[in-house]
Amino acid sequence: MARTQGSHSDITGPRIQAAALELFARHGYAAVSMRQIAAQVGVQAGALYNYIPDKQTLLFRLMRDHMETLLDTRRTQAGSGDPEARLRDFVRFHIRFHLERPDAVFIAYMELRNLSPENFARIEELRGDYERDLQDILRDGSAAGVFSVPDTKLATLGVIAMLNGVNTWYRSGGRLSLDEVEAVYWSMVRKAVAA
C-alpha cells in the first residue's frame, strides 16, 4: 500500500510543520520523535523525508519562519510619530503578536541550544534585527529628551524580557482582557523609560 486517498504535498507539508510546532512546544525538540510527528499527521515516519531533509532542519525552519513572520508583520505595522507613540505601538504589537502564536514563541527561545551552530547564528541575526527596532526607538527618545534610560541596550533587553513574560501566564478568557494586559504593560514600560 502507498499513496492513500487524498494525499497531497500541499496539505502534508504544512501539516508536518503544524504537528512539529505543537509537539516541540509541548514536549521539547529532543523529546519528540519523528514517529510521533508522523502519527499526528497520519502518515508513516518515512514520508516526512519527502518534505524535510532531517529533524534539525525541521526545527530550524519553524524558528526561521517565525522570526521572518515577526519581522515582516512588524514592518507593515511600524508607524511613525514621536518616540513615545512608537514605543507604545511596539509594546502593543509585541504583546499581541506573541500571544497569538505561543507555540512558535516558546520554541523560538527554548530550543536555541538544539540548533546547529550555523542555524543558531542565522536565528540570532534575525533576533538582533528585531531588538534593533526597539533600541532605535529608545535611542531616538533618549536623544530627544523624552526618555531617560541608563543604558539603551540593557533597556531594550529589559523591556523585551518583561513583555515576553506575558506568554508564560496569559490565558485568553482569564482575569484580564488583551486590551487590559496591553495597557498594564504599556504603563510599566512607559514609566520605566520616562525622563
Partner DNA sequence: GTTTTATCTGAACATATGTTCAGATAGCGT
Partner DNA sequence: ACGCTATCTGAACATATGTTCAGATAAAAC
The 27-66 contact track toward DNA, x by CB under 7 A, reads -----xxxxx-x---xxxxxx-xx--xxxx----------
Q: Which residue is associated with the grid cell 511600524?
A: 78
Grid coordinates given for 47: 514520508
Choosing among a second copy, DNA, none, which partner's interface includes residue 128 (Cβ < 5 to 8 Å by kind)?
none
* Selected range binding a second copy among 12-20, 88-96, 134-142, 145-153, rule: CB under 8 A: 145-153
- Distance separating alpha carbons of residues 151 and 138, to the nearest angstrom: 10
Q: Which residue is associated with the grid cell 513583555?
A: 163
Query: Using DSSP, how many helices (H) and how many strands (E) does the chain show?
Result: 9, 0
Grid coordinates given for 147: 526618555
Instruction: Using CB under 8 A, pick the residue from 5, 80, 168, 172 that binds a second copy.
Output: 168
- Does the protein bind a second copy through residue 114 (CB under 8 A)? yes
User: Do 86 and 80 contact (CB within 8 A), yes or no?
Assistant: yes
Provide, rounded to whole angstroms, the least separation between the CB of residue 66 and DNA: 20
Choosing among DNA, a second copy, none, which partner's interface includes residue 193 (Cβ < 5 to 8 Å by kind)?
a second copy
Closer residue to a second copy in complex, CB, 12/141: 141
User: Do 134 and 163 contact (CB within 8 A), yes or no?
Assistant: no
Neighbours of 121 (CB within 10 A): 10
Distances (CA, A) of 22 to 85, 105, 188: 35, 11, 32
Instruction: Using CB under 7 A, pick the residue from 1, 75, 80, 169 that binds DNA.
Output: 1
Give the number of residues in contact with DNA, rule: CB under 7 A.
Answer: 30
- Does the protein bind DNA through residue 7 (CB under 7 A)? yes
Choosing among DNA, a second copy, none, which partner's interface includes residue 7 (Cβ < 5 to 8 Å by kind)?
DNA
Closer residue to a second copy in complex, CB, 34/43: 34
Residue among 110, 103, 111, 97 nearest 69 (CA): 97
Instruction: Using CB under 8 A, pick the residue from 46, 79, 128, 165 that binds a second copy.
Output: 165
User: Where in 74-103 is the site for DNA (CB under 7 A)?
Assistant: none
Q: Which residue is associated with the grid cell 486590551?
A: 179
- Beta bridge partner(s), residue 194: 147
- Chain residues in the site for DNA (CB under 7 A): 1-12, 32-36, 38, 42-47, 49-50, 53-56
